[in-house]
Structures are given as C-alpha cells and as structure tokens.
Chains A and B, each alone.
Chain A
Amino acid sequence: MPRYGMVIDTRKCVGCQDCVVACKTENNVPEGHNRDWIVTESFGKFPDINLEIRTERCNHCSETPCVSCCPTGASHIHDVGGVVLVTHEKCIGCKACVEACPYDARFIHPDGYADKCTFCIHRVEKGEKPACVEVCPTYCMHFGDLDDPNSEVSKLLNSRKYHALMTDAGTKPNIFYLV
C-alpha cells in the first residue's frame, strides 16, 4: 500500500510556472484558478540575498483537517496512495475545507465544488507521473511512494536536507522540499 508524496529540489526550481500551466491544461482548471502555484521567498539585504523558489499544491497530508470537517464525505482519502480527493457530485461547496486547509490549497470551482490537486491520480493509476512532474524543465520534481525505502523519493530524503510546510500544524504533509 503506497503512500504517495513529492520531493521538490529547490536548488533547481526556477519558478517558471510550467507545473502550473501543465496542471491547468491536463485537468482543465478554469481561468482565474490554479491547483498549484509558485512561491518565492527572499531573505537578506542587497546584494547578500537568499532566495527559495518552490512549487506548492495540496500536501496530501496524512492528518487531514479538510476531510474531517467535510459534512458530506466528498473530501476523502482515496483507497490508493493516501491521496486526498474530492468527489465532485457529493460536494456542496460549503467552503469548510477551504477554511480548514492551512496551505490554502483549495478553491471553489465555478461548477460549485471544492477543487485542488489530485496528484493526477488518473495518470498515476496508469503508471504515469503527475503532469507537473512530467513537464518540469529543471527536473526538480519527484513523485513516488514515501513508504518504499527503495523509491526515488525515499532515497532523496535520506541523502539530502529537506523541510516541509507548516509542520507545526500537525497535518503531516507529504510534500518535502530539498534545500
């Protein structure tokens, strides 16, 4: 039983937004909304500056406030990979999950349901990588099974320093950023 996650190498990311565009076309994300996005954090004073550029999305957490607050069960953890999904037909668009998510990963689709990154589960279940990983021109994105010690993502985490977002929120995110 895999636990899907992502490892993103911030040393290589240039923040080009290709992941955002690829997700947009792959998943027909409506104009004005995105399932993933780029964050640029700059520290220091010119010219002594540190810059972290990274791509963000739903962290597909292991402890999911978005699922526990859902009144209809539309937000749920998928049978495969621990991927957090929303069943569109069940969702009433009440925005509870949007508020509950500490990563601002969700939005209300114009068709009235909560939408967000699915880890491209429709691709993953066919043995393909998520669209964002497949497109990245800097090859900074890696996807795989965090519970398999021989997977690429596990090896990366064992060999490099990394951080995750808002670990103090108790959500146990499954996206990690190599530094």
Chain B
Amino acid sequence: MNSLSRRRFLKISGATVVTAAALAGTAKTFIKSSEKINEQSEKGIKKISTYCDLCFWKCGVMAYVKDGKLWKLEGHPDDPLSNGRLCPRGTGGVGAHYDEDRLKTPLIRKSLRGEEKWVEVTWGEAFDYIAEKMNKIKVEYGPESMALFSHGIGGSFLKHLMHAYGSPNETAPSYAQCRGPREAGFELTFGDIVGSPERTDIQNSKCLVLIGSHLGENMHNTQVQEFSRAVEKGASIIVVDPRFSVAASKAKYYLPIKPGTDIALLLAWMSVVVNEKLYDVDYVEKFGFGFEAFAAEVSQYTPEWAYIETGIDPEVIRETAREMARYKPATLIHPGRHVTWYGDDAQRSRAIALLNALMGSWGRKGGFYIPYSYDIPKYPYPPYPKIEKGTVDNPDGKYPFAAGEQISTGIREATITGKPYPIKGWMIYGTNLLQAFPNRDETIKAIQNLDLMVVVDVVPSEVAGWADVVLPESVYLERYDDLNTSPFRESFVGIRQPVVAEPNDQKPNWWIAKKLGEKLGLAEYFPWKDIEEYLDIRLQLVGHSLEELKQKGIIKGEPQPIYFEDGIEPEFWTPSGKIEFYSPQLAEAGFDPVPKYTKHPQPPSGYFRLLYGRAPVHTFSKTQSNPILRDMMSENELWVNADIALRYGLKQGDKIKLKNSDGVISDQIKVKPTERIRPDCVYMVHGFGQKSRQLRSTYKKGASDAELITQYKTDPLMGGTGMNVNFVTFEMEV
C-alpha cells in the first residue's frame, strides 16, 4: 500500500504539471487542425481522428471517408505511438467494417451449446434473457459467481458493470496466457512491471537482445518502428530463437537455441558478466541489493556448462556477453511480450531482468525509460457494493506473485471444480477463449457448467459458438470507447469516435453495459445519458472538452524527463527499496531467490516440439475474416526443417495433419519446408484453423495450434500457462 501511494504521488504530480501546461499550448494547434479538416470536407473527403483496435496497442488513426463511405486509414500524425504510420493490421482495419461474416443482430441459442443454432432476437429480448439469468445467479449463488473475460479497452464498461453487479472476478487472457510472467519477473527485481506499451527504449538501444521476441512478425507498431531505427543506427542485435526469425535476419549474432534452455543461456551470460566484472559497477553498488549472494550463485554457470544444455558454442556465449557489456547501459535485453512458454517463465523473465540490472539499463537511455500517462480522474460513480468473497482465480494466494491481475485459467478451474465457490456465469468480451486458452476440453467442460454464457464480439468467434447469447458489437470505427491514456515517453490522451455508422443492428459496448445495467436495476451506476456526456465530464475534470478532443484526436501533456540521467530520482518499489539481485520474497515463498535452470522434457523420437507465433497481418484469432487481411494471409503453414521434410517426403504445399502426444489430430495444414528452423521443432502462426461455422470465409483454413496445445505447465509463481510443451507428429494421408 505504501508503494502504491508513492507511485500514485508520482503520477499525480506529473499530471498536475501536464494539465497546466497542456492548456497553455492548445489554441494554436486547434486552429490549425480546424482549418485542415474544413478544407478536406469541401472536397467530399472527411478526415476523422480515432485510435486503433486491431490489437491492444491503440495507435492513433486518421480515418478517411470518401463521399460518405469508409475509404482508408492512416496513422495520426500527432500520435506518439504511430507517428503517422499504422502497422498492416491497422492499415487494414477498413476491412473490419466491411467484413461480411461479422455479427449483425443479437442471437440466442435454440439447441445444445456448441451446435451454433440460433434465434435472432431484439436487443430488448436479449437483455431480458441475460438479466433474468444474472438475477437468478445472484440470488442462488451470489453476484461473485459471475465472471468477465475481456480484451481491449472496449471491456472497460463491462468491467464497471460487473463491479456494480457485485462480482470481483474479471480478467483478460493477456495476463496468464501472454505477458504475465515478465511482469512478475520484473516486479520482483525492479519493483515495477514492464507494462504496455513496453517501456523499452529500442530506438536508443546500442545493443538489443531479442529472446524469442519476433519483432517484425509480432507487429507492435511503435516497437517495429524503433527496431528499424535501431537497425539504421547500427545497433548490435543479438537474436536467440529456435527459428531464424525476421529479426534474426537483421542480427549481428543469431543463437539457434534448443527450446526450453533459455535460462541456461541467461545464467551463463550472467556468469561471464559477473566473473569478468563487466557489469555497471557504480549502478549495481548504488542501487543493488543482495548482489554478493547473487554473484556467488551465478558465477558457477560457465558457458561450457550452458553449451551442453543449449547447443550454443561457449565462445559465442562469451562473445555475446562481452558485446552486451560493451554497450551498457544502452543495452536492452528485451522482456518479450508473449512469454508463456515452459512454465518457468517468471523465473526466466526474472533472469532477463537481472541481466538488464547488471547492464544498468533500467531507467537509462537505450534501456528502459520511465513512462508517463495522462492522468484523468475516473468518472465519479457511487461506491460499488461490498464484495463478500475474494476472487476465485488464485485461491489462498496459491500463486503469490500474480502481479495484481487475475489468472484467467484460474477462473476456468473454479468454474470446473466449483471451488472456492461456483462460477455460474461467463461474460466474454472481445476475446476468443477457445483459441487463447490451452486445453480446449477443459474450457468446454467449464462452459458446460455454466448457467449463463454471454459473448459480446464483432465477429462470431469460435467461443461465441458455445454461448447462450451472442451480442453484436460495433466495430471500433463505428463507436466511441473510453479515453486512451497509454503510458509512454510522453503523456497523451486519444479519442475513439465513430467514423461511419454500423451497417446492421450492432451496438457499442458502452451502450450494451448501460442498457444491461439498467435492466439489472443498476441504473445509478450509469447516470450519464450517453458516452459523449461521460467523456466530456472526464475531460472537463482536466480542463479540456470532448469537442476539443474530437477535433484534435490527440492532446499531449507536457514533456517530462524519462531517464535517470535527466534527473529522475531512481525509485524501486521492492521490499528493500533497491534492485533485488537476491530476492528474499522468493526465498520466503519457497522459490529460488536466484533463478535456476531445470531441464524440460524433449520430444520423443518421431515427434517435434510445436512452436507458434504471430504474423504481421493478423492479431491472434480475431482478424482472419477481415477481407483485406484475409487477402494477405488466409491460412497458416507448417514450418518444417528442410532436412526433416526431405526425410518424410514432404514438399512445399503438401497438406498434412498433425497429431499431438494426447492423440488430438488437427485439420489440414500446408507444409513449408525451410532452412529457417531447427530440426527438433515445427512452427505455425497462431489463430487459424478456427471451427466457428459462422466464420464462413475462414472456417478450418489451416490448422489450429490452440487445438494441439492440450498440455501446459502452470507457472508456480504467477499462474501463467506455459504452452510450448506439446509435441506433434505428422499424420500422413494415404
């Protein structure tokens, strides 16, 4: 609580300065923007500011409407995240509006769950159905027995609704199935999480280390732009990956690591750095805690020892360690984003944090900057009802370092077991749990225990096929959402506003939450007439207005220092108030205070480890039906090492199925023989092979990695689900 107070103080003091200065600079920009907009309108072309929803990055967008029809999207020139350029998904966001497969009207199922047989209903009928069930759940089990899974800012009003209703159970798969381990690892070390957007100072990095991070394929716009800038400046890039990724092709060093052995490499790197005293001595002495104990532990892990585990030449390990040290503190060992791999991911992330600590890169230029966000007070709602029960995701604090977020698969588990108390209702917003979660059968088992399942989405996702009620949401280009105040090098507030109208009976999430709230007798929690009133009230609290923000799209705060070198007083919200090389918290909780390497199972003969990743033109499993992005990539391929392909007689474009160790057989996928992957694994892009029959354009195109991920290793520190632990073999067709 004390550390939260300090953090809050820092934020508030920043915001105070922001507010005062922001007002001073607004007049000039306003006039300029206004002139430009008027000029364009006269020619039949309108430009409207909004921000993107194709992924979670929320880049500022300039949307173009030509003669009343949505034409194209460009990055908003004033937006610090996009710098006027969108990634291919953002550019292709136009297709979301024109997607013929998108949901058009509310649906209630008329037969068994998963059969996808629906009755079209009115919004009123849908809300009546939902409210009746929710009221029944509240009476029978308590309001805590409702849970919400959401992804994206559009979930914020449904979260508000859930709290107003009385349930504490709400989360996003982006924690336990994605970035959670790195937040735990960094918080244990520096007392703060990496956050989103990542506070990585890539553009100023002189040595960038990417461990299984696929920048250029994983298209986090700002980071890819900065990656390119770093390449241009001649940054030394080190890539560690079982697959020769796009980033590897820009690297000075490519380390083709054996999957599951990253911690061994990290320990060896730290050993070289410590033994040769290559670390930032002043920084470590000034800010470090427990360094002696840490050094004593890591110094034993020689490159020769790591070679046996990783397959990486000991001299290369030494050379790359020295390369990192050479450029410190502008050396950035990137924390990654999707880091739920083997179940020891929080400790691997902690090892990454520790190596960064040795380089002195936290809070330094070319390492990790200190981000700011534009602090706008929340809407003044009445207090939520008192919650009688704790959340179900982490009973008795089983996972002690789940950094303030709930574990989505923990809610799933509670839904299956009924412990610590039953979960009887799921509300799902904008996330496809059947593709996000490991072990499809467990998800379906949980769903079958529900009395109510509601899906709010833009497209009929696979998980929507199992719902009782499906509610069609407006695409982001058709709606307002809450304000975007992403933390970044500079604070700003961005607006999402309608560019074009919904083509059918779709509605925005704020409207859905409000109407359902009113039906549930919770009208006092939705006192604003509409979202415009809500937004305007919040903006007025900081001296702005909705009208102003609609015109500009982006309002920036006053620039602030972002590095220790610029005068920021270093602060670490660890128990010791320092960077914890040795972690007493971990020791007290029964874990290794300094990370250790543990061997992971390797594929049996004839099997390959299944790896998966992203493509730059798709986001998870949510964009496959977008006609523009589908045109770019309509199915995935199985990357197979060229020698393995030769041995099995597989040629480019051959269609095969995969069978995993549990006997699950995938749909057909095309083979891509390639020299760009190790022989002991195979790789495919996530999100394909979907089984929603309503997604006509993408149904079963390619294979589903999610379906083959039946096994997972739960991280004992924070509950994340390591999913790179499945082995597959080829099912040959005759």
Contact = CB atoms under 8 A, between A and B. Distances in A.
Interface of A: 9, 11-12, 14-18, 20-22, 24-26, 31-32, 34, 42, 44-47, 49-51, 53, 131, 134-140
Interface in B213-228: 215-217, 219, 221, 224-225, 227-228
Contacts of A14: 215-217, 224, 227-228, 246-247, 616
A32 B627 CA distance: 10
Contacts of B248: 49, 51
A175 B722 CA distance: 45
Contact of B91 (A9, A45, A50, A135): A135
Given A20-B632, A53-B249, A25 B71 contact: yes
B629 interface: yes
Contact of A11 (B216, B231, B642): B231
A46 B641 contact: yes
A46 B219 contact: no
- Residue of A21, A44, A134, A135 with most partner-chain B CB within 10 A: A21
Contact of B631 (A24, A134, A135): A24
B77 to A, nearest CB: 11
Contacts of B632: 17, 20-21
B254 interface: yes
Given A17-B632, A25-B92, A12 B224 contact: no
B88 A18 contact: yes
A61 B72 CA distance: 29
The majority secondary structure among interface residues of chain B is mixed
A9 to B, nearest CB: 8
Interface string B74-87: 11000000000111
Contacts of B94: 25
Instruction: Give the size category of B's interface with A.
Output: 35 or more
Contacts of A131: 72
Nearest to A50: B249
B250 interface: yes
A21 B92 contact: yes
Interface stretch (B167-175, B317-325, B673-681): B673-681
Interface of B: 71-75, 85-88, 91-92, 94, 215-217, 219, 221, 224-225, 227-229, 231-232, 244, 246-250, 254, 256, 616-617, 627-629, 631-633, 641-642, 674-679
A45 B642 CA distance: 9
Given A42-B674, A45-B675, A47-B244, A138 B228 contact: yes
Contacts of A32: 631
11 contacts: A14-B228, A16-B617, A17-B617, A21-B628, A22-B72, A34-B631, A46-B642, A49-B248, A134-B74, A135-B74, A138-B225
Given A12-B231, A14-B227, A139-B229, 12 more contacts: A9-B232, A15-B616, A18-B88, A22-B91, A24-B628, A26-B72, A31-B631, A49-B249, A49-B676, A131-B72, A135-B86, A139-B228
Contacts of A50: 249
Contact of B216 (A15, A24, A44): A15
A51 B244 contact: yes
Contact of A17 (B215, B224, B249, B616): B616
Contact of B244 (A46, A137, A139): A46
Nearest to A29: B631
A22 B87 CA distance: 10
Nearest to A19: B88
A76 B111 CA distance: 62
A32 B91 CA distance: 17
Contacts of A16: 87-88, 216-217, 219, 224, 616-617
A11 B228 CA distance: 9
B228 A25 contact: no
Given A12-B231, A26-B72, A136 B85 contact: yes
Contacts of B215: 14
B628 A25 contact: yes
B249 A47 contact: no
A115 B635 CA distance: 26
A12 B226 CA distance: 11
A49 B225 CA distance: 24
A140 B228 contact: yes
A50 B617 CA distance: 23
A131 B72 CA distance: 10
A138 B642 CA distance: 30
A76 to B, nearest CB: 27
A138 B633 CA distance: 20
Contacts of A21: 88, 91-92, 617, 628-629, 632
Contacts of A51: 244, 246, 248-249, 676
Nearest to A49: B244
